[in-house]
Structure 1
Amino acid sequence: MFKVTFSFEDGSMVETFANAGDNLLEVARSANVAIDAPCSGNGACGKCRVQLKSGELESKKTLHISDEEYQAGWRLSCCSKISADVNVLVPDIASAYKSRMKVADLSSKEEIAIFENAKSDIQLAGIELKNSLEVVDVLMDVPSLDDTMPDNERLTRALRKYLNINRVRIPYVVLKKLPDVLRENNFAVKCVIRATSDDMYVYDIFGKDEDVVIGGLAIDIGTTTVSAVLINMENGEILAKSSAGNGQIRFGADVINRIVESQKPGGQKKLQDAVIKETINPMIHEMCKSAKFPKDHIYRMCVASNTTMNHLFAGINADPLRTEPYIPAFFKTNSLFASDVGVDINKDAHIIMAPNIGSYVGGDITAGTLVSQIWNRPEFSLFIDLGTNGELVFGNSDFMMSCACSAGPAFEGGDISCGMRATDGAIEACTIDKETMEPTYKIVGDPGTKPVGLCGSGIIDVISELYICGIINPKGKFIREGKRIKHDKYGMGSYILAFEEEAGSVKDVEITEVDIDNFIRAKGAIFSAIRTMLTSLDFDVSMIDDVYVAGGIGSGINMQNAVNIGMFPDIPIEKFHYIGNSSLTGAYLMLLSTPAEKKTYELAANMTYMELSTVPIYMDEFVGACFIPHTDTSMFPTVMEEIQNR
C-alpha cells in the first residue's frame, strides 16, 4: 500500500492510498479528485496531465508530452501506475471543468434578457404563463372543547372550502410542522400548494405574516456543462443563475464512455452522484446563497438534457441506449421527486423532464425547439444545437423532422489539446493578420485575464482565420512558416496563439493539425447531417428561411466564420440567429408555464426522428464535408470570393 498525494496550485492537497499497479487516474477518481479525461483514460486526448513532484510513477512515454516536459515531471495520469509513495501536482487546467463554477451577475441585462424575450415570444404564440403552484391564505376556527377536530382535518376542510377541491394531500413534512405553526399564528396561515381540477398537494405551511416566495429551478444538464436558473414561480423573475462543468466528464467526454463506466460495479451510483452531489447541489447552494433564498422553498424543478443524461441523472440503467435496438427506459416521465434522486431542494418538489424523442435526440432539443418557435411559423426553419452531439430540427408549423450526429466534444473544447469550455481564460473570438500572422483575441473573464485555452466559438474563429489567410490548406495542414508556426519532431504543425510567458497555463496556447483534423470531423458531421436531412425531404439549402443556432460554446458564434469552414451552409448571413442556451431557456418556460410544458410534450409527440446511420447517403456526405470548406467548393461561393478578395 502506497501513499498518493494530489497537490493543487492553490496549496491544498488530497491524500489517499493505493496498491502497486493501480492506475493514477482511477486512484484520483476514487479519491474524488477532479482530473479532466475526455477520452475516459485511453491516452487519446492528453488532458489528464499531472506533474510528478516527488516519489515514483511507472509511466510510459506518450506523444502528448514532449521530451522536455517529461524531464520536468509531466505525465498523463491515465498512463501512469502507482509503484511507490508519490506526490503529483494537478494543474488548474486539468480540473478547470469542476473548479470554475460561475454564478452570474444579474445586474447585467444580457444575463436575463434572453429569458424575458422568451416569455414575451411564448405569450405572443398564445401560450399562457401560468402554473399550478400558488400561496393561499387560510383562516381556520380555533379549536375548543366543543370543536375537537384534529389539525390536519381542520386544514383540509379549510382548503377544500377555499378552492372547492375534494382531495387534499398533506405530506409528512407539513404534518410535522402543523401543530406549532397553527398555534403560533392563531390558526391563520399561508400554504404553498399545487392545485389541479381534482387534486391539491400542500408543500409547505407558514405564518400568516411571513413573506413567502415560491421558488423553481430550471436545469440544463449538458454532457460537458450544467446550467441553471433559480426563479420566482409567481412571476418568472430570475433570482440567480449559475453554470459549472458536469462532474461526470472525468469519466469521459461522450455519453458512450459514461454509459460504459456506469456498467462497472457501483458505476450507476457514481455517475449519478457526479452530476447531482458534485455538480447540481453545489450550484443550488451557491445560487441560494447569492439570492438569500432558502433551498427548501424550491418546490418544482425542470430538467432538460439528452436521453443519456436523463437516465444517469435519474439513476436508471442507460446501457440499452448504446446497444441495438437502442431502447431507452423512458422518453418522458412524471414520477420523479427531489427526494428520489437526492437533489437538495424541498424533498417533495416534483421534477418535470423535457421529453426525449429518440435515443440520441433528447429533452434538450425538445426544450430548444419550443424556444426556437419553428413550430409556430409557416417558413422553413432549421434549428441546430451544437454540443457533444449535434442535434438538428427542420420544419415549420406543418411538420418537423429531427436527427442527431456524433459531433464529439470538440464544440465544447474536448478533443482539442488546448480546448476548454467557455469559462475564464478561454479565447472566445479571434482574428489573424494575413501578413504578420499575429492574432488578436477576446478572452472570457475580467480585463487582464490571461489566455488558458480555446472554447468552441474561438476554435471556429481560429480555424476560419487560418484558412482564409492561407496559413492552412483545405485538409487543415500548415502551408506557411513564421514565428507563430512550429513543428514537433514528428513534423506535426501547430499555430501558437499565446506563448507560455503570455498565457495563464503551463504551456503555449496553441492549435495543432490534430486539433484541426478533429474539428473538421466535428463540423463535417453537422454539415453532412444538414445535407442528408434536407435531401431526404427533397429540399436544398436555398429553401431554408432561417437558421437558429443554440449551444453554450461562447458568448456567440461568428456565423460567417462557421460558414467559412463549411460547418453551416453558404446562405445569407442575416438568416442565421444565435439563441444561446435554448435548452435552459426551454426548461425555464416549461417550469414557469404548465401550457408551455404541455406544448413541449406535443412537439415531441409530433416530431419525426430520422436515424442518420440508416441513410445510405450520409457517409458520402460526411466524407465530402471533411475538408475546409468542402470537397465541392461550388457550394461555398461567398467563401471562395472572400479568399480571393482578402
Structure 2
Amino acid sequence: MPETGKGTVRFLPDGIDVPLSPGISLLRHALEAGIPLLAPCGGESRCGKCRVSVEGETRGGDDSGLLSPSALAAGVRLACRCFPVSGDVRATVPPESRTARLAAYLDGKDLSGDGPFLPLPRSCAGMKPVGVALDLGTSTLAAALVDLCGGAVLSRASADNPQMGCGEDLISRVVFAEETQGGFDLSRGRLLSGVDGLIATLLSSAPAGAEVTDVVVAGNTVLSHFLYGLDPSPIRRPPYRPGMKEYPVVDGKALGVSTAREAQWRLFPSLGGFVGGDVVAGILASGMHRNEEVSLLFDVGTNGEVALGNRDWRIACSSSAGPAFEGGDIGCGMRAYPGAIESVRIDRGTEEVEFTVIGRGRPAGLCGSGVIDLCAEMFRAGIVDRAGRFTPGGGNARRRRTEEGCAFVVVPPEESADGRGVWFGESDMKSVLRTKAALSAAAESMLRAVGFPRDAVARVYIAGGFGNFIDLRSALAIGLFPPFPPSRFVPLGNASLAGAIGALRNRRRWKEALALASSTLHHDLSLDPDFMELYQRALFLPHTDEESYRAALAAGGPC
C-alpha cells in the first residue's frame, strides 16, 4: 500500500478498517483489504458496477453518466474514481456491487476416464497422501480433493476468483497488472489467496493425517501465467504469444502458496495466448482425441474457446466472446447467484413475462441463461427484428425509452429486489450479438479452415457449468452455436475440473494430456481471412443463414 495519511477507510458491512492513503482510489483500498467489490472493467470507469455508498471527505466518483441524480444525492459513488481525502471515511458495499458467492458447477463428465487407478508416483509412507485437482476459472475457482491411495474423490469446493476486483475479463487484468503501480504483485496475490483458501476448505474435511502431495491445475493461459509468476503482458499484444506454454513441475514453495507447499504442482500446458490448459483438460475429459469421429468442443465463457478434431488431428482457437453471458456488458446483468433470473418466457400476444429466479426471491438482474432465453423470446415475440433492433411497440407498457434508446421492461421497479427494475436495452442486445457472433463464427472458421462441412461433426460438447443450464433451443434461436440438431449436443459440466481429476488419478492420463497438447494446432483467428466475414454474418438473429437454423430446430432431439 502506498504512503498512508491520517485517517482510516472502513468498509461495511464487512467491518474492515484500512489506513487511508491519499491519492489512492476506494477500489484500490478495497483490493488491498480483500473486500469483494465488483470491477468488471478493471477500474477504468466504464462499467459503473463498483458502486459504494460513501460517508466522509472524498473527491470524485460522481459520474453523472453512470449514476442517476437520486443515487448521487444518496452518496453513491464509483469506487474506481472516488478518492478519500482525510479523516475517517465509511464505504458501504451493497449486495449488487459485491462479487457473486457463486456455487460453481463442480460436477463434470469424464467420458474417457475408464482407465485403472495409477496415481502420480509419490511415497505413501507415514502419511495419508491426497491430491488436489484445481480449475482456475476467470470468475470462479473450483477444486476437488482426491485420495491418492484409493482414488476416491473426498470433497469438492468452489469460490469466487478474488482477481475479479482487478477486472472481470482477462485483458482488463493484464492491463491492471501492467499499468497499475504494484499491479502484478497485487493481482497475483489475490489469485494465490483464493487458491490457498480453497485448498484450506478442502483440507478442513480431510481425514486425519492427510497431506497434499500433488496438485494438478487446469487454467487459461493468463491465469496460469499469474500462478506461475510469469508476466502475462505479451499476451495482450501481437503476436499474442504467451511467455511459456509448458510449465515445469515445481513445489508449492516455489510458487509462493501458503498451503500444499511441499506438494508437486503440475499445470496443464497452454496452446496459445488465450487457449489454455483448461481447454486441454476439457479435450481430455471429452475423449474427442480418442475417437475417429469429428467433434466440436465449446468452452462457453468470457474467452469462448473452441476445439475441433478427432484422434488424428485437432485445432483450437479463442474467440474473445466477452462477458455478456457472465453478467458483464449487460445493464442489469449479474452472475448466477440468488436473485438472478435464470429462465424467461414471453407471451407473443400480450408481451407478458414469466420467469424463474435463483433462490425464488425477488429478481435483481439477469444471469447468462436468462439473457439467452430473454433474447430468444424477444425475437420470437417480434419485440426485436433480425438485426436486434426494437420494433414499434404500439404503446405496450413494457416498452420504454431510456437515455440509451429503447428498452424492454422484464421486471417493473416495484417488483424487483432493489427497486430499480430489470430491463434489457438496445446496447445490451448489441453486446449479446457480438458475443454470440464471436463464438459461432469461431467454430465456422475452423470448419472452413480444414474444409469440413457441418455434417461431418458427430458431437458438439459444451464445457463449463454454464452449459448445463442453457436452453439449447433458445441458444439456437439466437445463433449462439452453429446450426446443429439438438441431439448432437453433449453437456459436460466442468470438464476442466473433470480432466484435472482424471490426470491426478492416472499418471497415464497426465502423459496423454501432454501429448494431445503438443499435437493440437492453435488456430489464430486474427490471421484468418475468413473470420470477419463469418462474424459479420453471425451478427443477426439467428444468422444470415436463417434456413439452416430452422432446419436444425425442426430436427428436434434431446434438449
TM over 0.5: yes
Matched, 1:287 2:278: no
Is this contact kept in 1: 2:379–2:385, CA < 8 A?
yes
Matched, 1:122 2:126: no
Find the counterpart in structure 2 of residue 5 from structure 1: 9
Whole-Å Cα distance in 2 between the matches of residues 259 and 295 of structure 1? 40
Find the counterpart in structure 1 of residue 37 from structure 2: 35
Alpha-carbon distance change, 505 to 315 in structure 1, aligned in 2, over 3 angstroms? farther
Find the counterpart in structure 1 of residue 371 from structure 2: 459
Find the counterpart in structure 1 of residue 331 from structure 2: 417
SS state of the match for residue 60, structure 2? strand
Q: What's the offset of the Cα at 1:433?
A: 2.3
Q: What's the offset of the Cα at 1:53?
A: 4.1
Alpha-carbon distance change, 77 to 2 in structure 1, aligned in 2, over 3 angstroms? farther
Is this contact kept in 1: 2:303–2:321, CA < 8 A?
yes
253-262 vs 589-598, greater mean Cα deviation: 253-262
Q: What's the offset of the Cα at 1:37?
A: 0.8
Note the residue ranges of structure 2 that are not aligned, 5 or more in a row.
Answer: none
Whole-Å Cα distance in 2 between the matches of residues 574 and 218 of structure 1? 31
Q: What's the offset of the Cα at 1:293?
A: 4.2
Find the counterpart in structure 1 of residue 353 from structure 2: 439
Matched, 1:562 2:475: yes
Q: What's the offset of the Cα at 1:217?
A: 0.8
Q: What's the offset of the Cα at 1:369?
A: 0.4
Whole-Å Cα distance in 2 between the matches of residues 332 and 507 of structure 1? 48
Alpha-carbon distance change, 530 to 40 in structure 1, aligned in 2, over 3 angstroms? same
What are the within-5 Å matches in structure 2 for residues 183-332 of structure 1?
191=125, 205=126, 212=128, 214-263=129-178, 264-277=180-193, 279-289=194-204, 291-293=205-207, 297-332=211-246
Matched, 1:486 2:400: yes
Whole-Å Cα distance in 2 between the matches of residues 310 and 557 of structure 1? 28
Alpha-carbon distance change, 463 to 342 in structure 1, aligned in 2, over 3 angstroms? same
SS state of the match for residue 473, structure 2? helix
Matched, 1:75 2:77: yes
Whole-Å Cα distance in 2 between the matches of residues 301 and 605 of structure 1? 21
Q: What's the offset of the Cα at 1:247?
A: 0.9
1:378 corresponds, among 292, 306, 317, to 292
Q: What's the offset of the Cα at 1:641?
A: 7.9
Find the counterpart in structure 2 of residue 474 from structure 1: 386
Whole-Å Cα distance in 1 between the matches of residues 141 and 521 of structure 2? 27
2:262 corresponds, among 348, 352, 362, to 348
Q: What's the offset of the Cα at 1:622?
A: 1.3
SS state of the match for residue 466, structure 2? coil
Alpha-carbon distance change, 640 to 536 in structure 1, aligned in 2, over 3 angstroms? same
What is the one-letter code of the residue matched to 2:113? I
Is this contact kept in 2: 1:556–1:580, CA < 8 A?
no
Alpha-carbon distance change, 543 to 510 in structure 1, aligned in 2, over 3 angstroms? same
Whole-Å Cα distance in 2 between the matches of residues 392 and 247 of structure 1? 26
Q: What's the offset of the Cα at 1:494?
A: 2.7
What is the one-letter code of the residue matched to 2:522? Y
Is this contact kept in 1: 2:247–2:266, CA < 8 A?
yes
Alpha-carbon distance change, 83 to 638 in structure 1, aligned in 2, over 3 angstroms? farther
Pairs aligned (count): 547
Q: What's the offset of the Cα at 1:91?
A: 0.8
Whole-Å Cα distance in 2 between the matches of residues 493 and 300 of structure 1? 54
Q: What's the offset of the Cα at 1:322?
A: 2.2
What is the one-letter code of the residue matched to 1:460? I
Is this contact kept in 1: 2:341–2:370, CA < 8 A?
yes
Find the counterpart in structure 1 of residue 495 from structure 2: 582
Find the counterpart in structure 2 of residue 158 from structure 1: none
Is this contact kept in 2: 1:217–1:298, CA < 8 A?
yes
Q: What's the offset of the Cα at 1:102?
A: 4.3
Is this contact kept in 2: 1:25–1:77, CA < 8 A?
yes
Alpha-carbon distance change, 74 to 617 in structure 1, aligned in 2, over 3 angstroms? same
What are the within-5 Å matches in structure 2 for residues 60-139 of structure 1?
60-83=62-85, 85=87, 86-97=89-100, 100=101, 102=103, 114=108, 118=110, 121-123=112-114, 127-133=115-121
Is this contact kept in 2: 1:450–1:503, CA < 8 A?
yes
What is the one-letter code of the residue matched to 2:375? I
Is this contact kept in 1: 2:326–2:335, CA < 8 A?
yes
Whole-Å Cα distance in 2 between the matches of residues 265 and 75 of structure 1? 23
SS state of the match for residue 327, structure 1? coil
Alpha-carbon distance change, 573 to 333 in structure 1, aligned in 2, over 3 angstroms? same
SS state of the match for residue 96, structure 1? coil
Find the counterpart in structure 2 of residue 16 from structure 1: 19
Whole-Å Cα distance in 2 between the matches of residues 65 and 633 of structure 1? 40
SS state of the match for residue 280, structure 1? helix
Alpha-carbon distance change, 500 to 237 in structure 1, aligned in 2, over 3 angstroms? farther
Q: What's the offset of the Cα at 1:583?
A: 0.8
Whole-Å Cα distance in 1 between the matches of residues 528 and 428 of structure 2? 28
Is this contact kept in 1: 2:485–2:552, CA < 8 A?
no
CA shift digits 1:153-204 (9 cap, x unpaired): xxxxxxxxxxxxxxxxxxxxxxxxxxxxxxxxxxxxxx1xxxxxxxxxxxxx
Larger radius of gyration: 1
Give me the identity figure in percent: 31
Whole-Å Cα distance in 1 between the matches of residues 250 and 337 of structure 2? 32
Whole-Å Cα distance in 2 between the matches of residues 566 and 622 of structure 1? 11
Whole-Å Cα distance in 1 between the matches of residues 253 and 153 of structure 2? 24
CA shift digits 1:61-91 (9 cap, x unpaired): 3433222322333222223333455323211
SS state of the match for residue 218, structure 1? strand
409-418 vs 568-577, greater mean Cα deviation: 409-418
Alpha-carbon distance change, 470 to 54 in structure 1, aligned in 2, over 3 angstroms? farther
What is the one-letter code of the residue matched to 1:122? G
Alpha-carbon distance change, 420 to 103 in structure 1, aligned in 2, over 3 angstroms? closer
What TM-score, normalized by structure 2, do the two folds share?
0.91
Whole-Å Cα distance in 1 between the matches of residues 32 and 280 of structure 2? 36
Alpha-carbon distance change, 283 to 500 in structure 1, aligned in 2, over 3 angstroms? farther
Q: What's the offset of the Cα at 1:242?
A: 1.6
Alpha-carbon distance change, 508 to 4 in structure 1, aligned in 2, over 3 angstroms? farther
SS state of the match for residue 34, structure 1? coil
Q: What's the offset of the Cα at 1:469?
A: 1.4
Whole-Å Cα distance in 2 between the matches of residues 477 and 293 of structure 1? 58
1:540 corresponds, among 453, 470, 473, to 453
Whole-Å Cα distance in 1 between the matches of residues 486 and 333 of structure 2? 27
What is the one-letter code of the residue matched to 1:130? L
What TM-score, normalized by structure 1, do the two folds share?
0.79
Whole-Å Cα distance in 2 between the matches of residues 421 and 588 of structure 1? 26
Matched, 1:58 2:60: yes
CA shift digits 1:18-58 (9 cap, x unpaired): 32x54332333233333211111222212111123454433
Is this contact kept in 2: 1:296–1:346, CA < 8 A?
no
Is this contact kept in 1: 2:340–2:364, CA < 8 A?
yes
Whole-Å Cα distance in 1 between the matches of residues 52 and 385 of structure 2? 34
Alpha-carbon distance change, 129 to 436 in structure 1, aligned in 2, over 3 angstroms? farther
SS state of the match for residue 579, structure 1? strand
619-628 vs 74-83, greater mean Cα deviation: 74-83
Is this contact kept in 2: 1:557–1:578, CA < 8 A?
no
Whole-Å Cα distance in 1 between the matches of residues 500 and 468 of structure 2? 20
SS state of the match for residue 284, structure 2? helix
Is this contact kept in 2: 1:101–1:242, CA < 8 A?
no
Alpha-carbon distance change, 2 to 439 in structure 1, aligned in 2, over 3 angstroms? farther
Whole-Å Cα distance in 2 between the matches of residues 616 and 7 of structure 1? 50
1:514 corresponds, among 403, 407, 427, to 427
